[in-house]
């Protein structure tokens, strides 16, 4: 067997997916009834509807593997049975009556469960009344949320019941079709990108056509992945990695490396940690309070790993075991790492990087360059950015969206220097670099 083309062991992907489903059962038992209220950090508070809806999405994604792997089917069935009373509770039914503009949001878990073979005709009747109400369109949403609504409607009513041309137009207005600000954009922009991708691909259930060529979308995903791996934001990193199995594209060296980092972190911690979980606070808590805090703040990242493994279990979608060194520029990674090590911090991805052979390290030099550029942008190190661009050009790595946006930014900073009579030290440094 050619080891360079060997794929990740399906049994390991199944193990990780089943772990997420085991956590899902705990989420249903402990968070679905009343959610989670955090008096110390209110932003961590969790409405039960969110936990219920996201659990149902995980079950829907896992179902594609359930037919082939009996252990996945068993876990999906157990969680679904526990979820049904919460997805169709009196609380949810009252919400359908009171807020018809959010009908499909509240009913998302019901719709997923019906798709999995657990229908409820009476609930459908109430949902139908809600979506036909005068106020049903009374909520304004960004494009990726409108794509979510379109998918929910299709799942509920079956293919062909909503206008796919209209859904395609939504995709063209979404972040999936609009270049991201990879240098100074907000976390919410990456979130909009990943969710638009999920709602377009629909886990291969009635997928929509991508609004841009796939290679452009994946190039942006790599640029954002560099930032998330360096920030140790594994929630968004996992969502970005979904771009490869959900679009059917072969995993790039950078994406393969990203998956290996997430797998390594999950194995070391026992779960994929979330950026909002504060370890100092976790250590202070005890008993049920500690368990609920950990579950409420980290379950979403655990679910993301489950979604990623479920997508990777689709035929031909698993990441390769080894990172291909084909086309790598010899020595490119060492030149970039010299700059990263000069100002770098201890990050998880470095542990995985150090295990790799030099040719495979060179294969992810483009990802390293993006990481170095992200750090330099944050430090306003314009001279350093200029040097990194030179390294990129010399190593044939400067054709990435991150490098392109850096070059444009340096041009703007140079213009700013020419037109302003008084310059700050940072602007002066940038002008000299340009």
DSSP annotation string for 206-223: SPPPPSS-HHHHHHHHHH
- Angle 271-275-278 (CA atoms, 0-180°, nearest 5)? 85
Which phi and psi (to 5°) does residue 46 adopt?
-130, 125
Q: Which residue blocks in 67-186 are alpha helix, DSSP H? A: 70-87, 90-98, 103-106, 108-115, 121-131, 143-157, 164-173
Q: Could you give the CA distance from residue 59 to residue 67 in angstroms, rounded to a whole number?
A: 13
Q: Which two tokens stand for residue 260?
A: 């290996």
Tokens of residue 310, six digits: 């479920």
Residue reference for tokens 């919460």 = 86
In 3D space, the residue among 367, 348, 210, 164 whose CA is nearest the CA of residue 268 turns out to be: 348
Q: What is the pLDDT along the chain (434 residues), one digit of tens a residue?
A: 444 569 999 999 999 999 999 999 999 999 999 999 988 889 889 999 999 999 999 999 999 999 899 999 999 999 999 999 999 999 999 999 999 999 999 999 999 999 999 999 999 999 999 999 999 999 999 999 999 999 999 999 865 445 556 777 888 999 999 999 999 999 999 999 999 999 999 888 778 899 999 999 999 999 999 999 999 999 999 999 999 999 988 999 999 999 999 999 999 999 998 888 888 888 898 888 899 999 999 999 999 999 999 999 999 999 999 999 888 899 999 999 999 988 767 899 999 999 999 999 999 999 999 999 999 999 999 999 999 999 999 999 999 999 999 999 999 999 988 876 545 555 555 555 55
To which residue do tokens 């509807």 refer? 49
Instruction: Tell me the pTM.
Output: 0.92
What per-residue confidence (pLDDT) applies to 204?
83
pLDDT at 126: 97
SS3 86: helix
**C-alpha dist (Å) from residue 16 to 10, 37, 271, 348:** 10, 29, 9, 19
Q: Which residues share a beta bridge with 7?
A: 320
The C-alpha atoms of residue 312 and residue 302 are separated, in whole angstroms, by 15
Q: Please tell me the distance from the alpha carbon of residue 267 to that of residue 265, in angstroms, as a whole number.
A: 5
Cβ-contact 364, 254 below 8 angstroms: yes
Residue 1 pLDDT? 41
Contact 114, 120 (CB under 8 A): yes
Our CA angle for 36, 39, 40, nearest 5°, is 115
Buried b (16+ CB within 10 A) or exposed e, 31-66: bbeebbebeeeeebebebbebbbbbbbbbbbbbbbb
């Amino acid at each position: 067997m050619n080891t360079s083309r060997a794929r990740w062991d399906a049994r390991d992907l199944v193990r990780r997916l089943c772990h997420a489903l085991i956590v899902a059962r705990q989420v249903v038992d402990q968070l679905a009834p009343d959610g989670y209220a955090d008096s110390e950090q209110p932003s961590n508070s969790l409405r039960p509807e969110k936990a219920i809806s996201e659990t149902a999405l995980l079950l829907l994604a896992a179902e594609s593997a359930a037919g082939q792997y009996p252990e996945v089917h068993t876990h999906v069935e157990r969680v679904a049975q526990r979820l049904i009373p919460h997805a169709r509770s009196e609380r949810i039914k009252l919400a359908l009556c009171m807020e018809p503009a959010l009908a499909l949001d509240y009913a998302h878990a019901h719709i997923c469960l019906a798709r999995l073979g657990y229908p409820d005709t009476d609930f459908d009747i109430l949902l139908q009344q809600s979506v036909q109400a005068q106020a049903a369109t009374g909520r304004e949403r960004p494009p990726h949320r409108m794509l979510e609504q379109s998918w929910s409607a299709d799942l509920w009513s079956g293919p062909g019941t909503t206008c796919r041309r209209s859904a395609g137009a939504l995709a063209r207005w979404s972040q999936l079709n609009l270049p991201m600000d990879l240098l100074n954009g907000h976390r919410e922009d990456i979130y909009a990108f990943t969710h638009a991708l999920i709602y377009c691909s629909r886990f291969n259930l009635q997928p929509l056509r991508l609004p841009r060529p796939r290679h452009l979308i994946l190039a942006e995903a790599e640029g954002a992945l560099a930032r998330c791996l360096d920030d140790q934001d594994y929630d968004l990193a996992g969502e970005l990695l979904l771009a490869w199995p959900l679009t059917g594209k072969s995993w790039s060296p950078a994406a393969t490396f990203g998956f290996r980092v997430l797998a390594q972190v999950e194995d070391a911690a026992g779960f994929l940690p979330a950026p909002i979980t504060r370890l100092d606070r976790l250590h202070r808590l005890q008993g049920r309070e500690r368990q609920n805090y950990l579950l409420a703040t980290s379950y979403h990242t655990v679910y993301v790993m489950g979604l990623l493994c479920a997508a990777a279990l689709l035929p031909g979608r698993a990441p390769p075991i080894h990172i291909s060194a084909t086309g790598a520029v010899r020595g490119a990674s060492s030149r970039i790492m010299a700059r990263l090590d000069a100002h770098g911090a201890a990050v998880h991805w470095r542990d995985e990087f150090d295990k790799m052979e030099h040719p495979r390290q060179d294969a992810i030099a483009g990802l390293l360059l993006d990481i170095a550029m992200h750090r330099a942008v944050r430090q306003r190190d314009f001279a350093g950015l200029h040097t990194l661009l030179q390294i990129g050009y010399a190593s044939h790595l400067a054709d990435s969206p991150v490098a392109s946006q850096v070059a444009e930014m340096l041009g703007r900073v140079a213009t700013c220097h020419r037109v302003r009579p008084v310059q700050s030290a940072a602007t002066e440094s940038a002008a000299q670099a340009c």
